[in-house]
Structure 1
């Protein structure tokens, strides 16, 4: 008698897992949709402000229903945090990658460190000077002199990313011989001075004084460089 070749369900081969290309394709599609939402949110935040840019408005600009957005972000604040986090990451890369200009070669280790310090500070300044909307995005956090609309966890995460953008500057100061506390003080002063000049520059208020913000930052860095460089 011929044996039946019909297999029971237990004998059936396991269902094949999604193939690599399929998973990759779905990942690419999801990332593209996420970026579409972020682009829509960016334009809404810049035009309407953080308070005026509702989820409904963001969804409309992205071509989705408001409910569809929840597949990617839990709230408007999460969208904002993702935008700001991406902006701070680009800023950090600009500061990390900064190198002294070839036109001013440094002689000696300390001179090279001073040149690197100045290059990193100027990279921070130039990033926000060339991308004023990124600075506007960051300072929505300080409406009313306190973080708005963000959970403590998101706020802590974004503050950590901001500190990471300044860490390369602080690291050079430590390499120049400052202790950690002194390096923090100098980094804080650099940050405050740079942001103040950027605010004047990006709002056009610097014209009241007939000054150039970048030149004023260089002027600030000259005595700072001499002070942290130590004896020749």
Structure 2
């Protein structure tokens, strides 16, 4: 590739990232339904026409933002390591990875679960919603695989993985809305306890494993 083409691509990527940053702010303020290409363009300092050279709709912008977020989530999960042949430890590491990502990035939680939209994927096409869901499932599959490696049949592993995810999401919502303080607990500690109990149920190498000490009032 010629140097000129490389520079043009780099400039295009920079502008695209700038547009996505502006869109993230607009969606956080107005949701997908309330946002418009014109408002996103104004926030980015471009004309609406200029944005169409990068995205054909505000839904496409939202999809690009969410895809980027899910890519970062997947990278966090893939980076979480456990000793080879220790599926219980792998389960704990992978679960803590996705939970920690959303605990540290509340805007990604909002974006990923359409909370900027009132708990529904309004405006997103079926195809786009399905593709984004597949990306999320890809980040969660390592936990399901670890459960299978612990000896669970695929259907049972899928159920336990769904329950694990649902438990984590509930705690994250309590954390990011501040409701967890009502119980005088910390979401991270409660999730770690749930994961420890899950591992103890299925990992013969860790019966009655002692839970690490944590400050339950750290939030």
Larger-Rg structure:
1
Answer yes or no: is 1:151 the counterpart of 2:125.
yes
Task: Provide closer, same or farther for how the CA distance between residues 141 and 206 of structure 1 changes in structure 2, counting only shifts above 3 A.
Answer: closer
Higher mean displacement: 114-123 or 194-203 = 114-123
Once residues 126 and 84 of structure 1 are traced to their aligned partners in structure 2, the CA distance between those partners, rounded to angstroms, is: 17
Residue 64 of structure 2 is aligned to residue 90 of structure 1: no
User: What is the CA–CA distance in structure 2 between the aligned matches of 1:169 and 1:147, rounded to whole Å?
Assistant: 26
1:200 aligns with 2:174: yes
For residues 61-140 of structure 1, the aligned pairs below 5 Å read: 61-100=43-82, 109=85, 112-140=86-114
Question: CA–CA distance in 1 between the matches of 2:198 and 2:43?
Answer: 47
Query: Do the aligned partners of 1:142 and 1:148 also contact (CA within 8 Å) in 2?
Result: no
Give 1:32 shift.
1.0
Q: Compared with structure 1, are the counterparts of its residues 144 and 129 closer, same or farther at alpha carbon in structure 2 (3 Å cutoff)?
A: closer
- State the 1:146 CA deviation: 3.8
- SS across alignment from 1:71: coil
Cα shift readout 1:120-144 (whole Å, capped 9, x = no counterpart): 1111111111111110111226956
Is the aligned partner of 1:181 residue 2:155? Answer: yes
Shift of residue 65, structure 1, vs aligned partner: 0.6
Give the superposition deviation at 1:222: 2.3
Question: 1:80: how far off?
Answer: 0.2
Aligned equivalents of 1:20, 1:189: Cα separation in 2: 51
SS of the residue 1:178 aligns to: coil
Q: Does the 8 Å contact 1:141/1:148 carry over to 2?
A: no
Uncovered stretches (5+) of structure 2, i.e. residues with no partner: 208-219
How many angstroms apart in 2 are the aligned matches of 1:38 and 1:145? 22
TM-score normalized by structure 1? Answer: 0.83
The list of structure 1 runs, each at least 4 consecutive aligned residues, that deviate by more than 3 angstroms after superposition, is 141-146
What RMSD in Å do the two structures reach over aligned CA positions?
1.9
The separation in 2 between residues aligned to 1:217 and 1:177, in whole angstroms, is 23
Structure 1 residues not aligned, in runs of 5+: 1-18, 101-105
